[in-house]
Amino acid sequence: MKLSFKNIEKQFSGLQVIKEFSRDIDDGELVALVGPSGCGKSTLLHIAAGLEQPSAGQLLADGQEVRSAHPERTLMFQENALYPWLTLAENVALALEFQKQDKKEARKQAVAWLEKVNLKGFEDYFPHQVSGGMRQRAALARAFISHPKALLLDEPFGALDALTRMTLQDALRQLIREAGPTVLLVTHDVDEALFLADRILVFSARPATVLKEFNLAHHEKTHDLSEFAPMRREILGLLGIHAESGDDAHAVGSLRTAAREQEVLAA
């Protein structure tokens, strides 16, 4: 699905959050949105999902104006995405039941998707009985089961430790390769953006405008991102974080804290 943002503006009771955002996101492309806390990244995802309407401008999905939410554009959040009173299989199956699929068939497909994300044997566990990483695997299964044409990911792995996050990034990349949706990924983790994205848009503080975009399509990437060190340094620099060489890992880790501090100072 091609998403075309055309001169999008968004205000909340006089607070300008997004200013003249125009970009095409091509069918099957993965674009990461990186920027200071509170600049408007989630708001852009909500507009893409059809949960918020732009104050001005238009969003087209395959040429049709987006006016409301639709399962072909699926939003996935950081945590607490699963219903605690349902098992993992019931949570995943629910996405199909919402679309009026037969309960038995929905369960069958849910079990197959849980197997795809390495959760075979955990179908009848409740969310509190599994780890945070396993919950997000189930959330991925639930996001993919209805074959969305666009996947809108809002810091999907933000609450996980670094190692678990990397295994989830691998799982996500595999699912994307198989299913081929267009993906918008909001992340505070510059390495996550470098690893997963075809393109990275770096936003300014509110109102969000694109400071710079980086193209990473056609790079075969591993978690060893050393070849992208100059790009990572430039992105962090744009975000006001100055990483000395050798100190990048720390700088990436502190991006979230620094961004929150900027938000507090700006308030």
Ligand X SMILES: Nc1ncnc2c1ncn2[C@@H]1O[C@H](COP(=O)(O)OP(=O)(O)OP(=O)(O)O)[C@@H](O)[C@H]1O
What are the residues binding ligand X (CB under 6 A)?
Answer: 12, 17, 35, 37-43, 206
Tell me the two tokens of residue 113: 């998707």
Nearer to ligand X, 90 or 155 (CB): 155
Nearer to ligand X, 35 or 127 (CB): 35
Taking each helix axis from N to C terminus, what angle separates 88-97 and 132-145, rounded to the nearest 10 degrees? 20
Q: Provide, rounded to whole angstroms, the least separation between the CB of residue 43 and ligand X.
A: 3
Q: Provide, rounded to whole angstroms, the least separation between the CB of residue 167 and ligand X.
A: 23
- Given a contact cutoff of 8 angstroms between Cβ atoms, the answer to whether 233 and 167 are in contact is no
| Cβ contacts of 135 within 8 Å, gap of 6 or more | 79, 81, 82, 127
Round to whole Å and give the CA distance between 207 and 16. Answer: 6
Nearer to ligand X, 35 or 54 (CB): 35
Round to whole Å and give the CA distance between 16 and 40. Answer: 9
Round to whole Å and give the CA distance between 151 and 183. Answer: 5
DSSP-derived pairing of the beta strands 199-203 and 64-65: unpaired
Nearer to ligand X, 46 or 199 (CB): 46
Round to whole Å and give the CA distance between 123 and 101. Answer: 19
Nearer to ligand X, 37 or 91 (CB): 37
The CB density around residue 11, as the number of other CB atoms within 10 Å, is: 14
Nearer to ligand X, 180 or 253 (CB): 253
Q: Provide, rounded to whole angstroms, the least separation between the CB of residue 24 and ligand X.
A: 21
Q: Provide, rounded to whole angstroms, the least separation between the CB of residue 259 and ligand X.
A: 7
Tell me the two tokens of residue 8: 């999008």
Nearer to ligand X, 40 or 127 (CB): 40
Q: Provide, rounded to whole angstroms, the least separation between the CB of residue 118 and ligand X.
A: 28
- What are 74's strand-pairing partners? 151
Cα distance from N-terminal residue to C-terminal residue, the chain: 37
Q: Provide, rounded to whole angstroms, the least separation between the CB of residue 261 and ligand X.
A: 12
Q: Provide, rounded to whole angstroms, the least separation between the CB of residue 215 and ligand X.
A: 22
- Given a contact cutoff of 8 angstroms between Cβ atoms, the answer to whether 141 and 176 are in contact is no
Q: Provide, rounded to whole angstroms, the least separation between the CB of residue 266 and ligand X.
A: 9
| Residue 246, amino acid | G
Nearer to ligand X, 40 or 133 (CB): 40
